[in-house]
Amino acid sequence: MSPEPLVDVRDLVVDFPVGDGHVRAVDGVGFTLEPGQALGIVGESGSGKSTIAYGLLGLHRGTGARIGGSVRVAGVDAVTAEGDELRRLRGGLAAMVFQDPLSALDPYYAVGDQIAEVVRVHRPVSRREARARAVEVLDRVGIADAARRCRSRPHEFSGGMRQRVLIAMALACEPRLLVADEPTTALDVTVQAQILDLLHELRTETGAGLVLVTHDLGVVAGSVDRVLVMKDGRAVEHGPVAEVLGAPREPYTRALLSAVPRVDAPAAPAVPAVPAAPGGPAGPARPAEGEVLLEAVDLRREFTTRGSLARRAAPVAAVDGVSLTVRAGETLGVVGESGSGKTTLGRMLVRLLDPTSGRLHYRGRDIGALGDKELRPLRQELQMVFQDPVSSLNPRRSIGESVADPLRIAGRTDERRIRSRVGELLERVGLDPDWYHRYPHEFSGGQRQRVGIARALAPGPRLIVCDEPVSALDVTTQAQVVELLGELQRDLGLALVFIAHDLAVVRQVSDRVAVMRAGRIVEQGEADAVYDAPQHPYTKGLLAAVPVLDPAEASARRHARLASVGA
């Protein structure tokens, strides 16, 4: 008789309560996973991926969800387990690595204490032994000087380091299964590669199984043995990763793959802009295609950090001597790792931040030192689409009112015409004008980003800075938003500055690219030239870390990275 698999899911059904009824999030899904194997669960937002992952640890308890079918993990029935058996499953036999470490870690406690607490829940050890285990696993996941850093709180770590802390916490009790829910979504490509390499090493060394939930098919290519493709709560395709990604049988899988931006694809050819459609706000004539619209010269921005009582505050340069131009009708892509200064630069370009020094010219006029009163007329022409529409939209105001705000600030008073213009803008970005009175929480992530774009379009801008506008979206929604931005640029003659850590997306949308590192631009030029023949070692390293869809190539790249680390 063959041994029981590590994970055995049969006909899993999950219904969540909504109003007076229920909504089916997972409908009849089944799969198995053997010890040491890795399964990738992929699909769009709302496809049921995370619901399955949570079900493996019985995390739907107390939510009102109705669970049907069978879920067995390391011999424990996750659907019916109670008390000590459920506690043994969570953390002891299986452990979860969540998507957002800031919400998964307690901000008030040192990370070492939080890991030690997990150890003491599952093992009869002393506080000293639990602390020693915390230091051991932090060191194992690559936290330098682990004995000292275990006393640090979550906010003292970078995003990638916080994700390593979560992985260390998951490893604390040597579980037989790791479940990672979108563990690299908000990370730049080099940190993402490090986390994926770490998960692979841990699986190889410990023999643990891995369930990796992600919307990025490039992530699963080099990280898993098998892939389960989800759509609307159902499994539409399941098989070896090389077969599913190399020769997908289902149209939905093929559509997902076709939506993945590729770093080796040339940028789309430029399409001449046409005049703005009637109905937009009146203003100066739009600059001719190719005319320099915005120019930054030796731009610098310093922030002051507070030292100890014995030390004076020390300024830190987030942007350090950046020079660039943005032409009418073009897209300038800005790429770099977290902390490289991309967002600070973008905020200075639209004067949401004041430069510490340097010059910023808009249509030939130096606007870098203008005060708020002088800037007010220009703010209509310089707009920004923020990374997180949840935090940039007021949850207490309807989306229509949020889009109308810039029109009122610009001096419009006719409410009937404002309402009409908002309806036009919502329709322009693919939303129903009748949704004017709905609130942000009633929309998906992609729809909220469309609201943010509509709000940026409202005053009739000449230039829009897009700060990571698609970083948290699945590939199909990401493709839709990118296509929308391109369409708006062609129709309205907009200039775009597209800030992102996803190099494939940036190549897809950009005419020219600037690569930032530690506050400086280390390389810039035509997109195809930078991507096809990078000159700076940093640019080469970024491109080498970009996920690829070929599992064999992904594996070869991982081996090369690990060999270079060990050299």
Contact between 208 and 37 under an 8 Å Cβ cutoff? The reply is no
Q: Which of 162-166, 169-173, 293-297 has the highest mean pLDDT?
A: 293-297
User: Where exactly are the structural domains of the chain?
Assistant: 1-93+177-260, 94-174, 329-354+367-555
- DSSP notation for 228-248: EEEETTEEEEEEEHHHHHHS-
Q: How far apart are alpha carbons 114 and 434 in whole angstroms?
A: 48
CB 445 within 8 A of CB 472: yes
The answer to whether 108 touches 93, Cβ cutoff 8 Å, is no
Query: Chain-wide mean pLDDT for the chain?
Result: 87
pTM of the predicted model as reported, rounded to 2 decimal places: 0.80
Q: Confidence class of residue 276 from pLDDT cuts 50, 70 and 90? A: very low
Amino acid at 106: D
Q: What is the pLDDT of residue 187?
A: 77
Query: Tokens standing for 507?
Result: 């190549």
Q: What is the 3-state secondary structure (H, E, C) of 296-356?
A: EEEEEEEEEECCCCCCCCEEEEEEEEEEEEEECCCEEEEECCCCCCHHHHHHHHCCCCCCC
244 or 265, which is more confident: 244
Q: What's the maximum distance between 2 C-alpha atoms anywhere in the chain?
A: 81
Can 1-93+177-260 and 329-354+367-555 be said to share one CATH topology?
yes
Tell me what the mean pLDDT of segment 276-289 comes to: 48
Q: What percent of the chain has pLDDT over 90?
A: 47
Q: What's the average model confidence in pLDDT over 343-350?
A: 93
Least confident among 38-47, 115-124, 175-184, 547-556: 547-556
Confidence at residue 342, expressed as pLDDT on a 0 to 100 scale = 92
Question: pLDDT-based confidence at 283, cuts 50/70/90?
Answer: very low
* Structural contact between residues 260 and 439, judged by C-beta atoms closer than 8 angstroms: no
194-222 burial: b if 16+ Cβ within 10 Å, else e:
bbbbbbbebbeebebbbbbbbbbbbbbbb
Q: Cβ neighbours of residue 247 under 8 Å, at least 6 residues apart? A: none
Q: At 170, phi and psi to the nearest 5?
A: -65, -35
**Distance linking the first and last C-alpha atoms of the chain:** 45
What pLDDT was estimated at residue 182? 87
Give the whole-angstrom CA distance, residue 236 versus residue 172: 35
Q: Above 50 in pLDDT, residue 498? A: yes
Mean pLDDT, residues 63-76 = 91
* 8-state DSSP, 433: G
pLDDT of the residue at 11: 96
Q: Which residue, among 111, 13, 87, 23, has the nearest Cα to 55 in the 3D structure?
A: 13
Confidence (pLDDT) at 289: 64
337 band by pLDDT with thresholds 50, 70 and 90 = confident
Q: How many residues does the chain have?
A: 567
Q: Is residue 41's pLDDT more than 50?
A: yes
- Residue 565 has what pLDDT? 64
pLDDT in tens, 421-475: 999 999 988 889 999 999 988 887 788 889 999 999 999 999 999 998 887 778 8
Q: How confident is the model at residue 279 (pLDDT cuts 50, 70, 90)?
A: very low
Query: DSSP string spanning 481-510?
Result: HHHHHHHHHHHHT-EEEEEES-HHHHHHH-
With tokens 């998951």, the residue in question is: 170
Residue 37 clears pLDDT 70, i.e. is over it: yes
CA distance 133 to 126: 11
* CATH for the 329-354+367-555 domain, from 3.30.1330.120, 3.30.420.140, 3.40.50.150, 3.40.50.300: 3.40.50.300
Calpha distance 286→217 (Å, rounded): 41
The share of the chain scoring above pLDDT 70, in percent, equals 93
Residue 278 in this model has a pLDDT that exceeds 60: no
Q: Going by CATH, does the domain composed of 1-93+177-260 fall within 3.30.160.20?
A: no
- Do the Cβ atoms of 393 and 399 come closer than 8 Å? yes
3-state SS class at 57 = coil
